Amino acid sequence: MTIREIEAKSILRKHKKIDSWFISHYGMNLYRGCIHNCVYCDGRSEGYYVDGEFGRDVAVKVNAIEILRKELDPKRKRIPFRRSFIMVGGGVGDSYQPIEKKYQLTRKALQLVSEYDFPVHMLTKSTLIKRDIDILKKINEQSRAIVSFSFSSADDEISDIFEPGVPSPAERLETIAFFKDEGIACGMFLLPVIPFITDTAELMEETVKKAVKAGVDFIVFGGMTLKEGRQKDYFLDVLKKYYPHLIAEYQNIYKENRWGEATREYYSLINQRFDRIAKKYKIPGRIPPSLYRDILGENDLVIVMLEHIDYFLKIYGKSSPYGYAAYSISRLKEPLSTIKGDLRKLKGVGKVTEGIIMEILETGRASYYEKLLTG
């Protein structure tokens, strides 16, 4: 293992449009590279330019806190922050990988987030996050915290093969129960499921059942990508060793393409499979509005709900104007409530969408959306 200390130029990443998967305008990565070494990790792919051997080498942004202090200080901002969760985690390195014990960058970043009173959404696979319960509770009381864990399934043996450096799914589930007991909202990112291994109806249902028992507030689901090059080569080597009979199946669904996506038919099949199970257990397949309704500005609230509607309709193979409408709204400078009479002039907004937007503006809810969310 090699640890390199590097100086970063910036820490906070701003999204052009609110990210409706995480309910976030801003994200941060304090490490580049990840000792957790998940076999399917797309941080390994060349497109992310992570130096060194992925899974063994990590770069630590040692000046991160100094920079973040400046970036989070509202007095230094020309354009005010958009209210949303600051996303900590995901990307090219888990914020709670083992070197966090020594550097404590995530802990110090959370202290700043708390000082400046932002809501935070954490995503990790590590139980080390329990160490920061004191700050997370404080943030939750001030402005809200969500703690999410990613899983490829709840099967400990499969996880040993594909997630060699992280606490077992059983330990992650226990940690979810721990945070729920402390009054903090928790989510499962069942992402990615591993084709033909953790995407079976039986294992998915088992995983959902365990997550619901642990108390999760939502489960966000997604399939796996395999980008040509390091990511795909590394994954297929492990697959050959443990599941050689599946190689041909993988060749059928992963044809060469820029994003490493599997076929549309395959994604559609597993999304529908998951949706059926989620509905059976009445667990939202997206972060529910009760966790963000009071945080977001009105335009962002509408964008997120429309994008969630779009997500569900696409799973059901239906055409949807909602993603397009959400995009049009994201380009607006003015609040939607000031142009109520002109909503239909926005691209993608027809009569039905207008009705949904008005309902959200007036009540903070959308009954059509709520039906899609939990069935």
Residues that bind ligand SF4 (CB under 6 A): 34, 36-38, 41, 43, 93-94, 125, 166
Helix-strand-coil split of the chain, %, nearest 5: 50, 15, 35
The amino acid that residue 154 corresponds to is: A
Q: Closer to ligand SF4 at the Cβ: 38 or 190?
A: 38
Least distance to ligand SF4, CB of residue 163, Å: 6
Give strand pairing partners of 149: 124, 188
Residues across the chain: 375
106: number of Cβ within 10 Å:
27
Q: Closer to ligand SF4 at the Cβ: 95 or 353?
A: 95
Q: Closer to ligand SF4 at the Cβ: 39 or 68?
A: 39
Least distance to ligand SF4, CB of residue 234, Å: 11
Q: Residue 375 and residue 371: Cα distance in Å, rounded?
A: 5
Q: Closer to ligand SF4 at the Cβ: 33 or 119?
A: 33
Q: Closer to ligand SF4 at the Cβ: 84 or 159?
A: 159
Q: Please, are residues 152 and 40 in contact by the beta-carbon 8 Å criterion?
A: yes
Least distance to ligand SF4, CB of residue 100, Å: 12
Whole-number CA gyration radius for the chain: 21
Q: Closer to ligand SF4 at the Cβ: 224 or 302?
A: 224
Q: 56-88 burial, b if ≥16 CB within 10 A, otherwise e?
A: ebbbbbeebbebbbebbeeeeeeeebebbbbbb
Q: Closer to ligand SF4 at the Cβ: 37 or 320?
A: 37
Least distance to ligand SF4, CB of residue 127, Å: 12
Least distance to ligand SF4, CB of residue 42, Å: 7
Least distance to ligand SF4, CB of residue 157, Å: 17
Least distance to ligand SF4, CB of residue 122, Å: 13
Angle between helices 298-315 and 367-374 (to 10 degrees): 50
Among 280, 179, 263, 177, smallest CA distance to 225 is for 263
The amino acid that residue 72 corresponds to is: L
